[in-house]
Amino acid sequence: MKSLIVLISNPTAKKASGKKVALASYYLQSKGFEVEVLFTEKKGDAENLAREAVKKSPYLLIAAGGDGTVNEVINGIAGTQMPMAVMPLGTTNVLAKELGIPENIREAMDAAVRGRRRVVSLGKITLVNPPSPVTRYFCLMAGIGFDGEAVRGINETLKKISGKGAYIYSGIRTLSRFDPGLLAFTIDGKPYSGYSAIIGNASRYGGNFRVAPDARIDNPYLYVCLFKGKKRLDTLRYVLGIVTGSHLKFRDVEYLRAEQIRISGSAHVQIDGDYIGMTPAEVSAVPDSLRLVY
């Protein structure tokens, strides 16, 4: 009996096409696998499809899309024994870059079936606003404040047309009106304050930029970049610092390793490039919570 691989594809991902999915399916079948392809139709579908796919006990689950699709699949299988691989079809494919997964379809599928099965850690965030707390896992990062507000402002139609251009445009618009309130952070029991933060479970951000250079998905810690300046010029300086790799040298940027983080105050939040809501929030590292193939 052939081993089953379930491939969950987001057909609206920036680099997605039926031809690429068909090529991946054909390649996997040529290696002796049975392949079931499931397409998403709306936000949340990838998580639900992944959760249902686990019940079939397939040999492997493949998330085909961008980082948002990958995040949904992760939220469907976190804490299970189900191994997962990535077929990068999105705008920036940050996780694929972090893991060294090629964007060439055949090479990505070869990595999926020949790669090592590794146990990695995730971040978990709970937005504690009543009446409906929201809990989500993230593999890459959580952005609090400016970062979250910029992702919230992304025009999805523009994103489909221009890809990264939509992020840049939203960032400029957000910067022009950004007026943050002070946030209180409790990081492993110690108090801190700032106006924005990026909490990294992985080192890369927005492509090949490294906001938290010490973060690795195979260690049980998160790394917090805490931005303490309130002015728009401060935020612009932070952005340029991230682009040039100099942000950790700034006196008003604090860089901390963490296991538990509590955030009080009001700020927008994004995880793995998708907007999820507002603080207050609780964030924690969750060791050994995902089986990832790369």
Cα angle 21, 57, 76 (rounded to 5 degrees) comes to 70
The region that residue 23 occupies, defined by phi over 0 for left and psi between -120 and 50 for alpha, beta otherwise, is alpha
Q: What is the mean pLDDT of the chain?
A: 94
Q: Residue 56: pLDDT above 90?
A: yes
Beta bridge mates, 62: 7, 85
By the 8 A CB rule, do 203 and 210 touch?
yes
By the 8 A CB rule, do 202 and 98 touch?
yes
Query: Tokens 């250079």 correspond to what residue?
Result: 213
For residue 159, give the amino acid letter: K
List, in order of start, the domains of the chain with CATH numbers. Answer: 4-115 (3.40.50.10330), 122-288 (2.60.200.40)
pTM above 0.75? yes
Q: Residue 160: pLDDT above 70?
A: no
By the 8 A CB rule, do 156 and 140 touch?
no
196-252 confidence digits (pLDDT tens): 999 999 999 988 899 999 999 999 999 999 999 999 999 999 999 999 999 999 999
How far apart CA 239 and CA 67 sit, in angstroms, is: 21
If we measure between CA atoms, which residue out of 262, 260, 223 comes closest to residue 128?
A: 262
Beta bridge mates, 125: 136, 283
73-122 confidence digits (pLDDT tens): 999 999 999 999 999 999 889 999 999 999 999 999 999 999 999 999 99
